[in-house]
Each structure stands twice: as C-alpha cells, then as structure tokens.
C-alpha cells in the first residue's frame, strides 16, 4: 500500500467542496471587523466635509466646535503641513495631480474632507463637525464628461481636464477606409453609469501610535502587507514602523485597494496627537465620499464582411475620473480585452480619462468590464441587422483552442483561452430552439421572453506591468504541536482564502485540513505580498502554497529519514503521520518529529533546528480565464419589471481548489452585474450634489432580484500556473452585464431595438415598450 510518492497529489482536499474555515466565526457573529477593535485611550473621528462641489475656502471658523466639551482636537490641512505625504497610486501608469489629505485652500467635490474632528466619542465628533463654519467662494462645478470637455479646470494648476490619455488622437485613415468599405458597419454608443462599490463593511481605520514611534493600524483593506508598504512609502516611514492588521473584511471590490484621504488623515492625526484614533465610515459617507467606479462612455464601431467576419474596429472611450482618481488608468485594459478573444485584423482607439468635481474613481470588480458589455451588445445588434444568429456570429469570430497561439492587434499573445469551447458546453445545457418556440408562443399571449448570451476572457493573476502585484509569499511551519501554520500574503474579503490555501497545503503535505491554520491578517508576520487584487489569489497564493509545501515536505522527509536512519525515499507523509516503508516498517507522528526538530536539534540533519519553509512565487505574466453565460428573462410589458428566469454559466477556470468557493465568486459577481444593469446608479444634480445618498435611492439588488445560477465547469485545460489554477473572482461582474442586457433587448425586439441607457430601470423599459418618452 505504501507508495514512494507523497500522498499530496491525490487531491483529497483540492477540488472538493470543503467546508469553509471562516464560516463558523462569520456565521456566529464572531468575526473581527475594524469596528470591533478598541484600544485604550482611543478617540473618535468625524469629518467636516464640503457642501459644495467647487470653490475656494475663504475662512474656517472652529470656535464653536472647539468650545464643545469632549472635543479633543480639530485638525485642518494647515495642521498636517508638517508631514510630507505623497499620496500614491499603485495602479496608475501616468502621473496625475497631487492629492491633499484634507482640502487645502480649495474644495473639489461635495464631501471633500475639510476638517478632521477628534472627540471623546463619535456622537460628540459629529456634533462638533456640525458647528464648524466654513465660508467659500463658490464656483460653477464640472460634473459630467461633457462639462469636463468644455468647462473650467478642475485643478487650476493643470493645462486641461484630461487626466490620462492613450491611443491615437487622430483617426487612422486606413482603418477608416476599411470600416467604410465593409459589408456591414455597426456602431454602438452608450454611457455606463457611475456605481458605488457598496461593501457591507464600509471603510474603517484604528490608528494606534506607540511611544517608540511605531504605529499599529487596524484597517479594512485588500492586503495588509501592501497597505503597510503604501503607508511607509506615502509617509516616508521605515516599513517596519508601520504594522497593518486587517482581520475580517466585509467586502471591498476594489474600493479598499489602497488607503485614501480619510485613512491617511486618521493615521497622521494619531501621530500628531499621540493618541489612538478610530474612524468608521458611515453609509452616507460611503455613498458620497468614498471613491466610486465605472462612469464611462464609449463609441464602438465594428465592421464585418458579408459572412459576418470582423474586418476592423475603432473605439472612442472616455472615463469620468472625478477630482482625485485612484485607479483611473483602466483605459489600456479596456482596449486590450475588447476584442481580445476575437479574430479581428485591425483595431485602433482613443481613450481619455477626465477630471471632474466629483469624488474620485477607484477600481471595481473587473475595472475594465465595459469592454465585454460594449462588444457583446454590439455583436447581438449586428447579428440582428445582418440576419445571422447571434451564436453563429460569435462562432465565426471567436478564437478557438485550435487557432492558438494567436497574437491580437493589441499585441496580446493568446495560448490557452476557450470562450468558444465554453459556449459549446453552454449550448449543450440550453436548448435554444425550444426556447425560441416558447418565446414565440409567449409573445402571442403578450408575454415577452428573451435570451441573451455573452462570452469573455479575463486576465487573472497578472504579474506584469503593475510592479506591486508581481509575486506572492507563503511561509509554512510545522509547530511543535504537530499542526501546520501558514503565513500567506493572500487576504480574504470574504473569498475564503483561509480555506482554499489550507486545502492546497494539506493536500500537498499530506496532513489533515483541520491541522492547517492560515494567517493573512498582519503585515508584521512577514510574507510580503499583495493580497486581494485582479482575481489573483488562487493562482498566485495557491502557487506559493504549493511550492512552500513541497519544500517543507522535503525537509520533513529528510529530517525523519536522518533521525530514523532510513532512506528519504522510504518516508511518506500521509494524514499527518510519517510512514516508513522498506525493511523496517513503522510510523512516526509529525508531532513527535516536530518535538525533536525544535527541542533536540543535534539529532537533525546538519544540526539545523525546526521544520519550516518559505517560497515566493511569481505566477506566469497572465493566466486567462474564459466563460460563456446565458440568461433568460421575462419583461413585464405592463410594469417594465425584469424577471430573471434562468441563468446558466459555463466557465473554464482550470483546476478548481474548491468548486463551492468558485461558484460563490461567480454568483457574487453576477449579483453585482444584475445591480448595475437594472438598478444601481450614483447620480449628481447640476451643482454636483450626490442625489442617491442612502440605500433607498441607491438601489442594490436583494435576494429577490438574484436567481439560482446553474454552473458548468470545464477543467480540461489546466493553466500554466502552478496547480493549473485560473482566477475567477471578477468574472461574473464582467460577463454578467452583457448577458442580461442582451436577454432584455431580445425580449423587447417586438418594440424595436432597445437603446442602451443604464440602468435599465422599469421606467426606461416602459418608455421603450410604449414608444414614448420616459416619465
């Protein structure tokens, strides 16, 4: 029975729906979020924020607030002037404007923090914030993309409101000629509304200065190590003097990728006042003053030959960056992946990001996702106008496995994408002919059913281009108790990485899953890495865990062989027990081995104590994930309400560590996709006042809006990454919107081609159905 190979490769845990390690504490209210943290002597912060979108600060009167008993300090930009702060963006390729921590002379959006109030408790802090009187010279704000192109400068020291620009400013004559000469030219122009990331846990920070000059920062964030590095660089402090602790995180979706103005203000305030400070963002602040997402416009033109094959395409793209963008330069990714999976010979684009007097943009699950929405909606329209079945049109243009390697006009080298093959699987599950018959029968009864399809590819676990996302670390240790401790630079925002990383380690080592404890909450534990970004954790973190486990297993076997006087090849670790094969079969527990390893190093090989291993893994530059989705809706022609009747997913995310977690990721992304198509919208009036400031106005999908999804996994093509994993975190949010839009447009074809005006609210759909202006 004993084999010479480690039991680790048997997949006892990898690929299984193992119960999540996180669930007991999270489901019984024992998670630790930032608001659960309290430290002795802690004071509370509230911000006095600008009520206008644009203007000069004439005066700040703090006297009434200062007189309120229990107010400890009122901090303005002047008080912070002694600190040199360089607000960084890890994700912008191009420099943008300097970002002040607190408004300094000017305010640039409604909600711009002007004064940080520090008081005995939050109630007093809020009361004091209300007593601060700021006088402004108000100016006309720049709110929309059109305003940005024609209005005043958002930042007076800049030459224009263009924050970032890529692509060709001039149209390419050859490309224009190809577009003009083609058998069919389809143009789609639309605006994607602004979205709030809306994590369940808002932003939050507790900053605790120590007498030594060191700081402990409890932070709701996507990666404690990366955020510690961010603070160290932004504040020019030694990395070791900042310790970031981030335990449970109630979602982030890109918002908490890096600390921003308020978090930095609190940290500086704690250093200035030498007191621990706490700030928990309230929901009003989160919906108005936390960075937001999307708000893009795109005009996409695509030309086809008479058989429906793509000939050429051009995209003109604009992004409302807000005043201080954090993750604005998604332009290149939008263009890179727009036709990334299609046989398109010629493509050019112009992409620009614009400053406005609105709160800045940050990343949001699939920050470049508009590419899939634009492409897939355009394909459906083109198919209808050319009289080609939309699935057939996709099949004629998608790059199949057999076509690869393939290099796109954007220079993307594709070796293992499979959207066409995912579509094949999908069509085995969805009987389109039967649906069309049902649709026709329903229409005769005045019921409007529609079906929509979309495919996508996603660049996951990118480890090229963005220098902070290059590698991930795992440090494993067999404790003297015989259990395994793993310090990993992944960071769960609800992803369940304590579970998935433990599955990988347990399998690879040959120990029970229950014996592996994963820590990813504290920058001072070591294990520098980046955490939760870009659908990277299974690939980058999983790879690090595999390699570290292999090193540790080698060390365990070598040590056991030395101590027992047998050959290394005769040692197998299975279920936490070392089995000695050969002439003198016996077993030794990992705990007994660890006892010797730590307590009696003279018996170890070379006298080296301990059983530990560390590996820093750099995944391949990009690991592609592919998918095809279908959705069936019914639109109520009386009310304009959309009912999602069925949603089928078919994805290739390579080897799965835990299918339940993969499906949870897809479902979460799809819930957000449904929200962004049907109801979510951050809106402003002409003066730049936010007009959706509670969840009564900013509509989030609930369980009643989100159907049960059907999942189909094709793992026949493991990735090139260690373990064969592919990322899946953002995918649902990228492929979901076009799937749903296409289904609604299909349902409403009897009323003509639907204008894509997001969100597709009941009022907008009714206006289309009744062929009248929206009320």
Cα 355 from Cα 145, distance rounded (Å): 8
Nearer to ligand SMO among residue 254 and residue 675 (C-beta): 254
Taking the complex as a whole, how short is the minimal distance between the CB of residue 93 and ligand SMO, in angstroms? 16
In this complex, which beta carbon is closest to ligand SMO, that of residue 278 or of residue 495? 495
Separation between Cα atoms, residue 396 and residue 374, nearest integer Å: 18
Binding-site member from 72, 230, 355, 364 for ligand SMO (CB under 6 A): 364
Going by the DSSP 8-state scheme, the letter that residue 775 receives in this structure is -
* E strand spans, 196-261: 204-209, 215-219, 242-245
Candidate list 365, 375, 381, 495; residue touching ligand SMO; CB under 6 A: 365
**Is 460 in a helix, a strand, or coil?**
strand
In the complex, the smallest distance separating the C-beta of residue 363 from ligand SMO, rounded to whole angstroms, is 4
Q: Which is nearer to ligand SMO, 108 or 625 (CB)?
A: 625
Options 61-69, 207-215, 358-366, 589-597: segment touching ligand SMO (CB under 6 A): 358-366
Least distance to ligand SMO, CB of residue 533, Å: 4
Contact 180, 174 (CB under 8 A): no
Which pair of tokens denotes residue 529? 């890495």
CB burial of residue 760 (10 Å; 0-12, 13-18, 19+): buried
Please, what is the minimum distance in Å from the beta carbon of residue 537 to ligand SMO? 10
Site for ligand SMO, residues 216 to 235, rule: CB under 6 A: 222
- Interface of this chain with ligand SMO, residues 504 to 543, rule: CB under 6 A: 533-534
Q: Which of residues 445-484 bind ligand SMO (CB under 6 A)?
A: none
- Give whichever of 552 and 622 is closer to ligand SMO, judged by the CB atom: 622
* Dihedral (Cα; 458, 463, 469, 475), 10-degree rounding: 110
Angstrom distances, CA of residue 143 to CA of 92, 97, 299: 22, 18, 20
Give yes or no for a contact between 110 and 38, defined as CB atoms under 8 angstroms apart.
no
Residue 541 has what DSSP assignment? I
Q: Which is nearer to ligand SMO, 383 or 673 (CB)?
A: 673
Choose between 222 and 291: whose C-beta lies nearer to ligand SMO.
Answer: 222
**Smallest separation, CB 332 to ligand SMO (Å):** 15
Residue from the set 257, 318, 690, 738 that interacts with ligand SMO by CB under 6 A: 257
In the complex, minimum distance from the CB of residue 689 to ligand SMO, in angstroms, rounded to a whole number: 27
Question: 473 near 544, Cβ under 8 Å?
Answer: yes
- Single out the residue of 199, 259, 360, 367 in contact with ligand SMO (rule: CB under 6 A): 367
Q: Using omega within 30 degrees of 0 as the cis cutoff, is the peptide bond preceding 405 cis?
A: yes
Which among 362-370, 440-448, 540-548, 624-632 is the span making contact with ligand SMO, rule CB under 6 A?
362-370
CB of 331 to ligand SMO, least distance (A): 15
247 is written with which tokens?
Answer: 């335990």
| Number of other residues whose CB lies within 10 A of the CB of residue 141 | 27
Spatial CA neighbour of 462 closest among 294, 627, 624, 229: 624
**Closest distance of CB 534 from ligand SMO, Å:** 4
CB environment 363-381: b (16+ within 10 A), e (fewer): bbbbbbbbbbbbbbbbbbb
Closest CB to ligand SMO among 114 and 363? Answer: 363
What three-state secondary structure class fits 16?
A: coil
Binding range to ligand SMO, per CB under 6 A, among 63-71, 249-257, 637-645, 694-702: 249-257
User: How many residues contact ligand SMO, by CB under 6 A?
Assistant: 10
Bridging pattern class, strands 215-219 and 242-245: parallel
Give whichever of 100 and 543 is closer to ligand SMO, judged by the CB atom.
Answer: 543
Do 527 and 613 meet the contact criterion of CB atoms below 8 Å apart? no
Q: State the residue for tokens 């996702």.
A: 369
- The count of other CB atoms within 10 Å of the CB of residue 161 is 22
Q: In sequence order, which residues have a C-beta less than 8 Å from that of residue 683 and are 6 or more positions away? A: 193, 194, 690, 691, 692
Q: Is 27 exposed, middle or buried (0-12, 13-18, 19+ CB in 10 A)?
A: exposed
Tell me how far, at minimum, the Cβ of 480 lies from ligand SMO, in Å: 38
Asked if 254 touches ligand SMO (CB under 6 A), the answer is: yes
Which of residues 533 and 698 has its CB atom nearest to ligand SMO in the complex?
533
Between residues 459 and 688, which has the closer beta carbon with respect to ligand SMO? 459
The smaller minimum CB distance to ligand SMO, of residues 690 and 727, is found at 727
Nearer to ligand SMO, 161 or 225 (CB): 225
Query: How far is Cα 271 from Cα 247, in angstroms, rounded to an integer?
Result: 23
In the bound state with ligand SMO, the residue whose beta carbon lies nearer, of 269 and 322, is 322
Q: Which residue has the tokens 């639309």?
A: 190
Q: Does the footprint of ligand SMO cover residue 368 (CB under 6 A)? A: no
Q: CA 759 → CA 85, 637, 666, 681, 733, distances in Å?
A: 39, 17, 21, 7, 15
CB of 256 to ligand SMO, least distance (A): 8
Please identify, among the stretches 127-135, 253-261, 280-288, 638-646, the one whose residues bind ligand SMO according to the rule CB under 6 A.
253-261
Task: Measure the CA–CA gap between 560 and 568, rounded to whole angstroms.
Answer: 8
Q: Which residue is nearest to ligand SMO (CB)?
A: 254
Nearer to ligand SMO, 208 or 330 (CB): 330
Span from 115-123, 252-260, 352-360, 563-571 in contact with ligand SMO (CB under 6 A): 252-260
Residues 6+ apart with CB under 8 A from 123: none
Output the smallest distance, CB 730 to ligand SMO, in A.
6
Task: Name which of 319 and 363 has its Cβ closer to ligand SMO.
Answer: 363
197 vs 719, which CB is nearer to ligand SMO?
A: 197
Tell me which stretch binds ligand SMO (CB under 6 A): 51-59, 201-209, 357-365, 720-728.
357-365
- For residue 322, the minimal CB distance to ligand SMO (Å) is 16
User: Counting contacts by CB under 6 A, is residue 90 touching ligand SMO?
Assistant: no
Got the DSSP string for 461-495? S--SSSGGGS-EEEEEEE-TTS-EEEEES---SSS
Cβ 459 to ligand SMO shortest distance, Å: 11
Q: Which is nearer to ligand SMO, 368 or 448 (CB)?
A: 368
Q: How far is the CB of 264 from ligand SMO (least distance, A)?
A: 18
Among 87, 363, 563, 760, binds ligand SMO (CB under 6 A): 363
The CA–CA distances, whole Å, from 51 to 78, 112, 195, 485 equal 20, 8, 21, 50
| 379 phi/psi in degrees, rounded to 5 | -60, -40
Q: At what angle do helices 497-509 and 542-564 cross, to 10 degrees?
A: 30
Q: Which residues bind ligand SMO (CB under 6 A)?
A: 222, 253-254, 257, 363-365, 367, 533-534
């Amino acid at each position: 029975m004993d084999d010479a190979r480690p039991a680790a490769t048997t997949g006892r845990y990898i690929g299984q729906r193992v119960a999540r390690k996180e669930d007991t504490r999270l489901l019984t209210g024992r998670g630790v979020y930032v608001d659960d943290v309290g430290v002795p002597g802690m004071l509370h912060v509230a911000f006095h924020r600008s009520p206008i979108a644009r203007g000069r600060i004439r005066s700040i009167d703090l006297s009434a607030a200062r007189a309120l008993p229990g107010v400890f300090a009122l901090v303005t930009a002047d008080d912070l002037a002694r600190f040199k702060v360089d607000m960084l963006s890890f994700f912008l390729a191009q420099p943008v404007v300097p970002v002040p921590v607190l408004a300094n002379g000017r305010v640039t959006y409604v909600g711009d923090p002007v004064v940080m109030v520090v008081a005995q408790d939050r109630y007093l802090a809020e009361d004091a914030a209300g007593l601060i009187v700021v006088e402004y010279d108000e100016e006309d704000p720049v709110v929309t993309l059109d305003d940005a192109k024609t209005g005043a400068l958002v930042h007076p020291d800049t030459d224009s409101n263009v924050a970032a620009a890529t692509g060709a400013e001039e149209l390419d004559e050859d490309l224009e000629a190809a577009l003009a000469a083609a058998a069919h030219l389809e143009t789609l122009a639309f605006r994607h509304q602004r979205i709030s990331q809306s994590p369940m846990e808002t932003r939050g920070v507790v900053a605790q200065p120590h007498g030594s000059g060191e700081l402990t920062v409890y932070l709701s964030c996507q990666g404690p190590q990366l955020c510690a590095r961010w603070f160290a660089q932004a504040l020019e402090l030694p990395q070791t003097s900042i310790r970031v602790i981030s335990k449970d995180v109630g979602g982030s979706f890109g918002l908490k990728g890096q600390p921003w103005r308020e978090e930095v203000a609190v940290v500086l305030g704690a250093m200035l006042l030498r007191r621990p400070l706490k700030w928990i963002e309230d929901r009003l602040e989160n919906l108005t003053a936390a960075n937001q997402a999307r708000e893009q416009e795109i005009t996409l033109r695509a030309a086809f030959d008479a058989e429906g094959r793509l000939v050429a395409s051009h995209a003109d793209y604009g992004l409302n960056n807000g005043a201080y963008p954090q993750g604005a330069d998604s332009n290149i990714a939008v263009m890179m992946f727009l036709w990334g999976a299609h046989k398109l010979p010629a493509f050019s684009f112009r992409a620009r990001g614009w400053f406005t007097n609105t709160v800045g943009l940050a990343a949001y699950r699939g920050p470049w996702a508009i590419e899939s929405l634009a492409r897939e909606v355009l394909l459906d329209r083109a198919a209808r106008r050319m009289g080609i079945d939309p699935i057939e049109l996709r099949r004629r243009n998608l790059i199949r496995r057999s076509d690869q390697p393939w290099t796109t006009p954007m220079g993307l080298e594709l070796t293992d994408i499979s959207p066409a093959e995912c579509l094949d699987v999908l069509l085995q599950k969805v009987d389109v002919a039967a649906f069309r018959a049902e649709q026709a029968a329903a229409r005769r009864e005045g019921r409007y059913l529609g079906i929509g399809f979309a495919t996508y590819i996603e660049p996951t676990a990118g480890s090229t281009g963005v220098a902070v996302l290059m590698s991930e670390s795992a440090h494993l240790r067999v404790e003297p108790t015989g259990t395994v401790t793993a310090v990993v630079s992944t960071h769960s925002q609800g992803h369940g990485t304590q579970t998935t990383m433990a599955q990988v380690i347990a399998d690879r080592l040959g120990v029970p899953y229950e014996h592996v404890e994963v820590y990813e909450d504290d920058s001072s534990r070591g294990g520098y890495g980046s955490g939760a970004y870009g659908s990277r954790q299974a690939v980058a973190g999983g790879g690090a865990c595999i390699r570290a486990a292999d090193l540790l297993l080698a060390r365990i076997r070598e040590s056991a062989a030395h101590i027992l006087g047998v050959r290394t090849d005769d040692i197998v670790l299975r279920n936490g027990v070392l089995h000695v094969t050969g002439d003198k079969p016996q077993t030794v527990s990992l705990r007994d081995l660890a006892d010797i390893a730590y307590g009696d190093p003279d018996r170890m090989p070379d006298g080296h104590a301990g059983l530990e291993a560390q590996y820093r893994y750099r995944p391949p530059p990009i690991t592609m994930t592919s998918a095809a989705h279908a959705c069936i809706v019914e639109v109520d022609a009386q009310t304009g309400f959309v009912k999602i009747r069925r949603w089928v997913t078919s994805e290739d995310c390579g080897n799965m560590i835990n299918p339940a977690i993969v499906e949870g990721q897809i479902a979460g992304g799809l819930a957000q996709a449904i929200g962004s198509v049907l109801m979510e919208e951050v809106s402003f009036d002409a003066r730049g006042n936010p007009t959706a400031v509670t969840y009564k106005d900013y509509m989030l999908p609930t369980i009643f809006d989100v159907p049960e999804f059907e999942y189909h996994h094709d793992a026949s093509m493991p990735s090139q990454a260690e373990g064969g994993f592919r990322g899946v975190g953002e995918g649902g949010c990228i492929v979901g919107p076009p799937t749903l839009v296409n289904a609604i447009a299909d349902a409403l074809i009897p009323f003509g081609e639907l204008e894509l005006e997001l969100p597709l609210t009941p009022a907008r759909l009714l206006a289309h159905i009744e062929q009248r202006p929206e009320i």
